[in-house]
Every structure is written in C-alpha cells, then in structure tokens.
A and B are shown apart, each in its own frame.
Chain A
C-alpha cells in the first residue's frame, strides 16, 4: 500500500466516486484515520511529526539534546525502571487470571503456576525477578539523580515525586511478597509488619489496619492483594505520568549552564541554516517543530546540539526495553522464583527474615527497636524529601560528582553505603537467632 506523507485529501466534494472505487480506497482511508503519516519518517518534518503527533511518543519533545542521550548521562536507569514497571504490570495482570487471594488456595495456585499452567512458571519468575530488579533500579536511579545534582532547582518537586515513587515501589514489592502464601512470604510479612509496630502512637493501628487482624492471615492477604493489584498500581501510574511530565516542564534532563564545546552546534554567523531540509508546503510553519540551528537572537548563547527524538531517543529506548526483556527472560529461565513450603503459622523459621530490602531495617531493629525501626528510617526519609531544598546555591547540575557538591555527595553516599552494608549483613551474615554467621 502506498502511503503519502501528508494526510489524505478530505472527502471529495461534488460528484460522488463510484461505490467500487470507494471500497478500493477503504484500506487506505482506514490506515490514514489511525496513522497520519508514513510508518517510517523520511525527512525531518516527518520525524518531528512522528513524535509530536503520536499518543505514546508525545511525552518526548520533537528534539532532544544530544547530551541527554549519552549513556553516561543517565545510564538509562529511569527508563529501565519504567520498563521493568511495565513488564510487571503486564505479567501481573496475566498472573491475576490464576491467582486467588485466599489462604486456602493462594499457595495451591502457586503450585499450579509452577507446572499445571502452561507458561505459568515463566511468567511468575519474570514477575518476581522484575519486582526485585525494580527496587534495585529505582534506588540506582535515585543515586544517579543525586550524584549528578539533577534534583536541584527547578527539579526539586520532581525529586520529591521520585522519593514517593521509591517508597511506593517498596510498598508494592512488600504487598506482593505475601501473595504466594508460602513460609517465606508469611514470615517475611509478619516480621516486616512487626517493625511497623515500633512507630509511636500510630504503630499499632497502622499494623492493625494493614493486616485487618492481629496476625497475618486471610484478612491480611486480601488487603495486601487489593493494595498490590489495584490501589498502588493506580497511584503509581498517576505519579509516573506526573514524574515524566515534570521532566519536560522542568526543561529536560539536568545539564550545566554553560555547555561543553563538543555539545554545541558549530555555527558561524555567515553560514545559513539549511531551510531546504524542510519541505515547503503551503500553510505550514515549523516554529515549534524544530529549533533552527543558529545563535538565538535574544541571548547570543550557543545552541546545544540537538537531535530528533525519532529515531535517536526512541531507538535508544527500544534498545533499553529489549535489554530489559532479555535480562528478565534470561533470569526467569535460569532461576526459579523462590517458593517455600506452605505458610504454617505455628512453625516460624529461624531466623524469620523480612524481604531483603527491609533487612537493613531489621538489622537496625536488632540494635535498637525504636531508633532502628522508626527513628532513623524516618530521619532518612525526611532527609530524602527535603534534600533538594537543602541545596543552597546553584551549580553542579548534570555533572557527576561536581566538586562544588562534594559534601552533599559524600553525605548521601555514606548513608547509601550504610544502608547497603546493613542490608548485606542482614541478608547474608545473620543466621539462627539473628546471630552473626559467616555465609561460607
């Protein structure tokens, strides 16, 4: 089918064409009613249109700075997190077809997924490993943002949204942890919610509302299920949308005020832009479609190199998505998602451990219940929320480990290191009775 690069002509006025020729045109008309342009853009106008006029792509601007696409700028961490989230949504919905949130059946359904349901084991594995990966990727993404100063003005609010998203990710993972209803899940959630009890005033109530009973049981399972499949994903979808919208509205990715030499379009005043790259059509202006590569008249500042989102940004995103899918599928066929014996409230394992990302917390609780479980975590979370507002002057945006921000960076890194070390100790170095053991 031949497709013109401009929209189909409107329905002809005057004489009606014959019925047969009308029907012949129907496929073309259907195509054009959905897609306005050729599948593969052939010139810059179409490249710009491909992005701006596409429902899914228009989160991007038509052109992006070349700098933003460099691997070392972001390592694609935000995008990877999004990819993993999308994969989680897809596999999660599929798993819901077989899952029953009841203590009698939940575990049986896990067993079914592992054998009796075709492809069930693979989907469950992908979902599990993606969930673990999302926690890791979100934290790495947060570290990237902080260490490149990308949370500084005007991106403070987006950082706050990011922190909320991180907490939601943890909560999401935690609620999902209970659903298999095996020993691992049951006791991890028992321990995890017990930590919440240490919160003053609201602790007991919080735990009671979360569990719907004094202990982890059927009530807790249905509550966790609703949170996991409906409430939290809905909130996360909305917040992720906001998060992405803010990236554009805050001026794209963070970058230094004065760009590097190699990031600037080399323009000499006498060289004229090649306007003929844009096809001349009557009644078209390209003002917002593309930035004309000359010094801007207002400031005389250099113009940073920009490339079209199609295909530069979208191509990279596709590669990232393929890599995500690849890694998760590989993990899913190599390692099975853990499934221990059915939950047995009368036989706790020793040691009963929370999910791994809460083991730093559990480790701290072992030292001091209130400070470890509530005090220090609350301080850290509050610090995370106000971090961008503690920055006192401009500078260092978009640059890794900028010297002017070394104090902030080192503080941040020490906190992350502390949490990592505690988590590693809690995960690998704690055995029976929470005694120190050496894992080898």
Chain B
C-alpha cells in the first residue's frame, strides 16, 4: 500500500510538472507580439484583400537567412517579434511594433538586422535576442552607439549621418589617446594596448568604464583616469566601438589607401603665441599625467615652473621625440605638428612666475618630493615612470661615499640624460648647498662619516681610444658586465630588475658626456658603494681602460667627452 501511495503522489507531482512543461514550452513571447501586430494591422488594413490576408496568416517564426557581410550564413529572426519594421503604418508605434526608419539602400532582406544592431539574431526571447545575457559578446546597440556599426562597411568616419562617430574620431586625438595607443591607420603608440579591433572585443559598458576608471578593469594599469563631459565620453566610446580591425569589404590594399585619406590636414607652420600653447596644453590633456598648478595627473613630473628648469628648445625637442634628451623617457610621442609643438614649448617656457620657498624643507617638498618622495625614499608619485629612477636619499652607503660637490652640482646644474633638471634659476648656489645638506641630515639621520683617504687616481687614460681597444673592451664587457648592464649596454640585463638603484644605461649619451674617463675607471676599479656595481680591481689595468674605451664608444661620446665630471 505504501508503494501505491508513493506512486500516487509522485504521479500527481509529475502531472503538475508536466503541466509546467506544457506552459513553458508553449508560452513564447513572440506569439503575443505577433498577435498584437495582426490585431493592430487588421484595424489599419486598407482593403478587404489585405484584411483577408491578415486573417489567414498564422503565427510563425520569421527568419531572414542572409549570406555575405562577414558571415557565410546568418539567420536573423528579429522580425518574429518586430513585425512592423517594414509596415509603414507603425511609424508611431512602440517597440517591438514600430516601423524602422528608412535608411536608404539598406534593405532588410539583404542586410538583416544584427549586422547593424548586433544582438543575437537566432534567439527568440528578448533576454537573449537583445544580448542582455552576459555571455553574448555583442549586446544590442542603442542610439547613438549604433553609429559604430556604420563603420563596419564605411571606413570613413566623417559621414553626415554619424555625428557622434565623427566627433569621437576627433576626440581620440584631442584627448591624446593617440600618444599611448596604437590604432590602425591613426596612431602607433606603444605604451597602451592596441585598440585597432577594440570594438570587436569589448562591450559599451567596458569601454566606458575603461575611460572613466581604467583601474576598474585592470588593477595594474598606468592609464590615467580621464574626467570628461558625458557627451565626449559617449562620442569617444562610439568611435572605439566602431573599431573592429577591418571593415567587411576591405582587403589590405584598400585599407591602406583609405588610411592615407584619413590623415589629418596639417596646418602650415606659422607664428604661435603663448595662448595657443596654453590651449593646446589643455586640449591635449597633458595634466592627465603631469602636474600643473592644482591640476595633477599624478604620473609625470611637475610642470608648474617648467620655464625655470627647461628652455623652449629643450621642450620642443622633447615633444618631437621624448627620448631626444632622456633616452629612457616613458613619455609617449604624440606626433604633434611642429606648430603645436612650438606653441606648447613656448607656453611652458613662459612659466617662470614662480618663487621657490626659502626654507630647505619647504623647497624639498615643492621641488623634490614629486620624484624623490616625501620620505626621500625615491618613491614619489612620478618615480615609477622615470628611467633612471630618482635617487633614494635613504641610501646611506651611497651618500656617505658621494662627494658633496657632486650632490650640490646635481641640484644646481641638473643631471643631463635624466629627468633631474637644473635648479639654478630658482636656487642660488648657497641655497643648493643648504638644500643638499638638509637632505643629508633629514634622510640619512646620521652625521657624515669621515671619508676614507682620497683614492689614488690616474690623471689620464693611458690606452688610446682605438677600435682594437674597444673590441677588447667589448669582449670583456660581454663576459663581465652584461648580466646587469645588458647585452646592449642599455642597463636592462637579466639581473637588472632585482637591483635598486638600477644599473646605468651606458648608451645614454647625454649622461655619459658628463662622465670623464677617470670617473669611469674609478667606478670600474673600485665599484660604487651602495649600488650593485662591484669593484673589478683584479682585472688587469689595461683591461679596465679597454672597458672605459668600450663604454666611450657605445655611448657615442668618443674621445670628445666633455668629462666635466661635476
């Protein structure tokens, strides 16, 4: 009997579930939409034949089977619910029963729907068809983002019908995206990811988020957060969404010709004013990385007093090629036109309206802390993006060994080839000295220990600077030095990442110009205290001089090195 009751109960339950199955299997949304359409259409039917035709039509799945346009075969079933897209009577209807606006030359039979609107053409319920499901790579595009789809076939983004896309293309340059990112046919930045097919890979939401808050999607990103008006954000996203690698019709050759046509009209060089420079500086969003007054991107050096530390020529060369003066600079090349470079350089050079504070601790906080860090640990906000990195003042060994003269000179004259500028226009010689002394006391927390008695140094290089000597030096270098300084002597050897301070880039011409043969010999022979550079005393003297000659050669400073050796 028990088992009969069990059977009874389970059969009853099964019947209920089967009823549920019947309901879910037959309750399809599109049936309602189609019925609603036919009801409405019957009311608007013009003639009896049309009415009869409507009465005869049953509910069925409508499907456009399409070939071409990027797919061998594509089935769009959107018209199953959107019955009224080609019925002119539903211009004022509400979705899903609304007439599609006339886009001349684009018929549904030929193009289907998802080629422009995206979404999942084969699905028959709204949730999946509109791509609201998180797995579907291409959710439906609402206005104005749908403009991005026009670029799938029309690579020229300056169509009259696509104002947002056109603006987005301009904003891509205005916001200096071109500096860091590569974009097929537009820019060739290398700092950020290649954006040439960004629209194919990411959804609107992700693209928006990446601009507003880059760290949301990539914790380690160095991209600054751009704060821009909503309108700009939308247009920029439209443009990004339109980038899908290549358009449906294009082969590489047409792509290249189009690219050429895309190139912006360059203005003729002409006289520029400080005002032009200021405008460019703001348009280009330099403060996304740099600091200017109260605006601070938190990534690059402070430009508030740029005119006092660098001159206009330096600025212009730096904008034309950020690696012209500092070979390891992280700053992207924005490929500006000469006129714009000149204008910005002029503007920056005009920024001389700055008085340095009088007290050394205040001077340090305003002038040094951005790079060297408030605690003198060489970890200021800009430090991560500077190569070579700023000195750590907490490195007691190094600073106890460093002659004071070199410390003073570094502040007063700057260190060529690095981000360290000369502060001589802001600080007097006495002030520089006072500042350096304050730094020593503040961060080393110790009195200067007596230096060992001065080393006995040779007065001149006894080995002539000849190709043979350089070749001998090269062989020794590849044996002894490449581990830290790297095979190409760029300071990026296999061990370099584990060392702080980093090994010197020996190809930094500007820097090496200031280092005399004698100082090179001293560094090789005795090593540098407080760094990874070991003493190489046991090498024969001639070999050390060969190394010096090799470094001279590779740094392209030759025998003509100034060797001022401050």
Binding site for B on A (CB under 8 A): 104, 108, 111-112, 114-116, 118-119, 121-122, 182-183, 311-312, 315-316, 318-319, 322-323, 325-326, 329-330, 332-333, 339-342, 344, 347
Contacts and interface: CB of A to CB of B under 8 A. Distances in A.
B89 interface: no
Contacts of B20: 329-330, 333
A93 to B, nearest CB: 19
A-B pairs with the 9 shortest C-beta distances? A115-B124, A111-B122, A340-B135, A322-B10, A326-B14, A341-B135, A315-B3, A341-B137, A329-B17
B25 A315 contact: no
A315 B7 contact: yes
Contact of A323 (B10, B18, B73): B10
Interface in B24-43: 24-25, 28
A329 B16 CA distance: 11
Contacts of A316: 3
Given A116-B61, A312-B3, A322-B10, A333 B17 contact: yes
A339 B135 contact: yes
B7 A319 contact: yes
A424 B124 CA distance: 35
B128 interface: yes
Interface residue tally of chain B, by bracket?
20 to 34
Contacts of A344: 137
Interface string B193-230: 00000000100000000000000000000000000000
Contacts of A323: 10
B122 A329 contact: no
B389 interface: no
Given A315-B3, A319-B3, A322-B11, A115 B123 contact: yes
25 contacts: A104-B72, A108-B122, A112-B122, A116-B61, A116-B77, A116-B124, A118-B25, A119-B25, A122-B21, A122-B24, A312-B3, A315-B4, A319-B3, A319-B7, A322-B11, A322-B14, A325-B14, A326-B10, A326-B14, A329-B21, A339-B135, A341-B135, A341-B137, A342-B137, A347-B201
B120 interface: yes
B21 A333 contact: yes
B282 interface: no
Given A315-B3, A329-B20, 14 more contacts: A104-B73, A108-B122, A111-B120, A112-B122, A114-B124, A116-B77, A119-B25, A122-B25, A315-B4, A326-B17, A329-B17, A333-B20, A339-B135, A344-B137
Interface in B1-19: 3-4, 6-7, 10-11, 13-14, 17-18
Nearest to B15: A326
A292 to B, nearest CB: 25
B75 interface: yes
Contacts of B10: 319, 322-323, 326
B511 to A, nearest CB: 39
Contacts of A342: 137
Interface string B414-440: 000000000000000000000000000
A90 to B, nearest CB: 15
B264 to A, nearest CB: 32
Contacts of B3: 311-312, 315-316, 319
A315 B7 CA distance: 8
A12 B372 CA distance: 116
A84 to B, nearest CB: 16
B13 A326 contact: yes
B404 interface: no
A114 B25 CA distance: 11
Contact of B24 (A183, A311, A333): A333
B125 interface: yes
Nearest to B63: A116
A326 B15 CA distance: 9
Nearest to B72: A104
Given A315-B3, A319-B7, A322-B7, A115 B125 contact: yes
B108 interface: no
A329 B18 contact: yes
A318 B14 CA distance: 12
Nearest to A328: B17
A330 B25 CA distance: 13
A437 to B, nearest CB: 14
A332 B25 CA distance: 11
A341 B123 CA distance: 13
A111 B135 CA distance: 13
A243 to B, nearest CB: 25
Nearest to B14: A326
Contacts of A122: 21, 24-25
Nearest to A315: B3
Contacts of B18: 329
Nearest to A342: B137
A412 to B, nearest CB: 31
A322 B18 CA distance: 12
Contacts of A115: 28, 77, 122-125, 128
Nearest to B138: A341
B354 interface: no
